[in-house]
Amino acid sequence: MDCCDHDHDEMDYLECAKVGQKIRHFSMEAYDPAEGGFAVVDSEKILKKKKWLVLVFYPADFTFVCPTELADLAAQHARLKKLGAEVVSVSTDTKYAHLAWRTSERLLQDVKFLMAADPAGHVSRFFDVWDGESGLALRGTFIINPEGVLVSSEVNFYNVGRNADELVRKLEANVHLMKHPNEACPAKWTPGAKTLAPSEALVGKVYEALNEN
């Protein structure tokens, strides 16, 4: 069952998370590689610390594209943390499988972020990445701001890996815009580049605004 179904016997799955709206509270068990033990991911506790929450869903442990993605994410983890983000990877495996995979797969040796377990698919359904036929989560990346608003959503099919550089760029843009809500970031924006100030004067004049000295 996904969040578009309407079965009131199921838990609160009637609405999925939507960009621009606040998420509902969720919690998941997790393996914490940094501490070498188990932990709990609690969205409310993270957001109360005024942190950004980055959720990276992937299909399964002990697969093929997935460890390359988590290794890439680990390489950018320090930059994401510096921007104020709590990074959490999520699959429908158990916390015990996460521990075993993290221990045995050499590509994961630098993974320090929390590896959350969603075996019943509750959180995967809420973020609309649940694949009911396989019981797995698609490759979904979500950025939630410190106010609990979902500001970015990306979903890929199983066979295409993501690029954590772009995740960093999107978080940088969203952090900037939270501080400067009257601005907008154009394509390929990076810190220090020009932003746009939407107004009637800008209509049809974007080229001039981006290229003026």
CA-closest candidate to residue 195, choices 177, 168, 179, 172 = 177
Identify the residue whose tokens are 């890439």: 72
Residue type, 178: M
User: Alpha-carbon distance 199 to 75, whole Å?
Assistant: 39
29: part of which helix (H) or strand (E)?
strand 27-32
Q: Which bin fits 62, alpha (ψ -120 to 50), beta or left (φ > 0)? A: left
66 is catalytic: yes
> Which of 3, 16, 66, 185 is an active site residue?
66
Strands 85-91 and 136-137: unpaired
E strands within 108-167?
114-117, 130-131, 136-137, 139-144, 150-156
So which residues are the catalytic ones? 66
